Amino acid sequence: MVVVRGCLRQVRQRRTGRSALLALDREWSQTTKDMNKFVSYFAPDARSIRREPVATGSRDHGYVHEDLATPGFAIQWTPTKAEVSAAGDVGYTVGTYEASMNGATEKGKYVTVWKKQSDGTWKVAEDIFTAMRPAGRLHQSR
């Protein structure tokens, strides 16, 4: 009986953790007009993996300031899934994004890995995103 209760508690914790991460990711998506608030979601050793060189550390996300401060730049994203580890200390969100600037639009996908901090808050540990290829374009191997 104790094992069953422990399993049920773990299932509830994971379900609650998934809901919390989805809500947190949605909340984060509303901060794109406030650079300091936006960057506050990153852990001190966070990494952003994108086409440009990897940005490491919450203070090394200068691209955020450049992108968000560029006139006409806008980004929005929608998380569609979240998972949390059995231990409840690591999780991830997955979704789609759309960035636009001066009439040009880029659509893509992302995975954000979240890590629970010592104070119990979730922070971004890894942020990985990539643009979708235009329809009909195939990858050519060399």
DSSP H/E element including 123: strand 122-131
The residue assigned the tokens 């195939």 is 138
Q: What is the pLDDT of residues 12-71, one digit of tens each?
A: 666 788 999 999 999 999 998 888 898 899 998 888 886 655 555 555 555 566 677 778
Q: How many CB atoms lie within 10 A of CB 9?
A: 10
User: Is the pLDDT at 103 greater than 90, yes or no?
Assistant: no
pLDDT at residue 55, rounded to an integer: 55
pLDDT at residue 17, rounded to an integer: 85
pLDDT at residue 102, rounded to an integer: 86
Alpha-helical segments (H) within the chain = 2-29, 35-39, 62-69
Average pLDDT over residues 97-113: 93
**Ordered domains of the chain (ranges, CATH):** 2-131 (3.10.450.50)
Which among 28-37, 50-59, 96-105, 106-115 has the top mean pLDDT?
106-115
- Regarding pTM above 0.85, the answer is no
Among 64, 137, 75, smallest CA distance to 108 is for 75
DSSP letter (8 states) at residue 63: H
Higher pLDDT, residue 34 or 11 = 34
